[in-house]
Structure 1
Amino acid sequence: MLKEFKDYLKSGIFLLFLIPVFPLCAQEYSFGLKAGLGYTINQKAAEVDGSAGSFSADSKIGFLGGAFLEVGFGKFFVRPEVFYSHAEGEFAFPDLPSTYSVDKISIPLLLGYNIYGPVDIFAGPAYQEFLQVDLENTASPVEVQQRNFATQLGVKLVLNRLEIDLRYDFTLDSKRNQLIDVGELMDEAYFDDGRLNQIMLSIGYRIFDTANPRRARSNRGCYF
């Protein structure tokens, strides 16, 4: 899995630089790294339904890390990213609590707007590649749709080269359902979907930034 992660990370960073970074309208651009935590908001996304009842994955804390490129156009900006995330949820099966974990690469393309001073809002689609999924106490591995899309939206606070990013990551429903064996508890149960939606909080550092402090953006002109 480590080799796959490195390959996807290299591909994702390469994709960042496929975005035109020197358009005539662009006033500033930056590149940096980010890391943080994710809190699962399941909302019946991942469920197990069997003879012992129906179960949804309870919230747990995961982590994330990656890179970003941001290109500014006046008060607007385009922000491609690539990051790895590990998310977890816990199924409270009777006498057999089981952790469900998801490792994936996300490549979002976000459109943002500087609403005031250091505060930006953003939203956009994200391509996701699932690297590994695991549900404890099952007789056979669970399977999910390996490639999927998500929607991300949030707000960030920029303080010179540092930024604090809070966003919601909603993975689209794959409509996938599979039969699983949960030991003696449920010989036959259905595992519905496999996504774990998250609230993500991260801290980023701008390694390279053409405007520091960058809030000068709002005072610069653009062609639109």
Structure 2
Amino acid sequence: MSKKLILAMFALAAFTLTTNAQNGDGFGIKAGLNYNANGNYFQSIGANAKHPDRNVGYHVGLYGKIGDRLYFKPELVYTQTKSEYGSDALKLQKIDAPLMVGLKILGPVSVFAGPSLTYILDSKFEGISLKDLENEFTIGAQFGIGLNFNGFGVDVRYEKGLSKNYGTVGVSDSRIDTRPDQLILGISFAL
């Protein structure tokens, strides 16, 4: 590729990102880390609950943004999490669809909140698929704070699952709550 073509492509990308940053509308990609714990694990009916240890997971996906000072930001994200219960672990793979409403409060700083719709693709507890999962589709809530600089964004948010969602472990009467309770660090790039 010639240097002129590369410079022209760079100028076009910079113009596009600047335009998107000025009018607020656009779309892009996002990725990040999740510091997650799911709900309690009950080894039998009436037994004391085991509380999970938090663990690091990740997410990757797409977002859209409509508006500038007051904006709507829907996202579609693949998320993988892991919660540990002593020597056992719950691994979840899911599609999350946060629907955030945000407000720029000072320069590049904004706050946002909204529901997060989740579809659980796969759930395993120490290699055993969870059976009789009450719902594959659940609802949670997220809120957070973000910084956005010309198409590059960083945000920190908290998510809490609102829908109780228990699954049966193996053939026993053990059950586990799959609701998330997590801190999410994300970066985003406007396209």
TM-score range, shorter chain: 0.7 to 0.9
Equivalent runs, 1:157-172 vs 2, <5 Å: 157-172=147-162
Deviations, residues 74-131 of structure 1 (Å, cap 9, x unaligned): x211111100100100111xxxx11111111011211100010110100001211100
Aligned residues of 1:86 and 1:101 also touching (Cα < 8 A) = yes
Q: Gaps spanning 5+ residues in structure 2: where?
A: 1-22
How much has 1:165 moved relative to structure 2? 1.2
Aligned residues of 2:138 and 2:165 also touching (Cα < 8 A) = no
Partner of 1:39: 35
How much has 1:189 moved relative to structure 2? 4.4
Q: 2:56 is matched by which residue type in structure 1?
A: I
Output the aligned Cα RMSD: 2.3
2:84 to 90, 115, 118: 90
Distance 1:200 1:143 in 2: 28
Identity of aligned residues (%): 28
Distance 2:93 2:165 in 1: 19
Deviations, residues 115-163 of structure 1 (Å, cap 9, x unaligned): 101101000012111000000165x644422011111111111122210
Partner of 1:201: 185
How much has 1:171 moved relative to structure 2? 1.4
> Given the superposition, is the C-alpha separation of residues 156 and 141 from structure 1 closer, same or farther in structure 2, using an over 3 Å criterion?
same
Is 1:154–2:144 an aligned residue pair?
A: yes
Q: 1:148 is matched by which residue type in structure 2?
A: T
Deviations, residues 18-77 of structure 1 (Å, cap 9, x unaligned): xxxxxxxxx4302110011000144xx23223398531221110000001111114x211
Aligned residues of 2:140 and 2:163 also touching (Cα < 8 A) = no
Equivalent runs, 1:5-154 vs 2, <5 Å: 27-42=23-38, 45-50=39-44, 53-73=48-68, 75-92=69-86, 97-136=87-126, 138=128, 141-144=130-133, 145-154=135-144
Q: TM-score, normalised by structure 1?
A: 0.68
Aligned residues of 2:37 and 2:82 also touching (Cα < 8 A) = no
SS class of match (2:25): strand
Aligned length: 168
How much has 1:190 moved relative to structure 2? 2.5
Distance 1:179 1:84 in 2: 24
Runs of 4+ displaced beyond 4 Å: none
Aligned residues of 1:83 and 1:107 also touching (Cα < 8 A) = yes
Distance 1:56 1:137 in 2: 19
Q: TM-score, normalised by structure 2?
A: 0.79
Distance 2:36 2:81 in 1: 7
Aligned residues of 1:57 and 1:100 also touching (Cα < 8 A) = no
Q: 1:150 is matched by which residue type in structure 2?
A: G
Partner of 1:23: none
Aligned residues of 1:133 and 1:143 also touching (Cα < 8 A) = no
Is 1:176–2:166 an aligned residue pair?
A: yes
Distance 1:66 1:175 in 2: 24
Q: Gaps spanning 5+ residues in structure 1: where?
A: 1-26, 182-187, 208-224
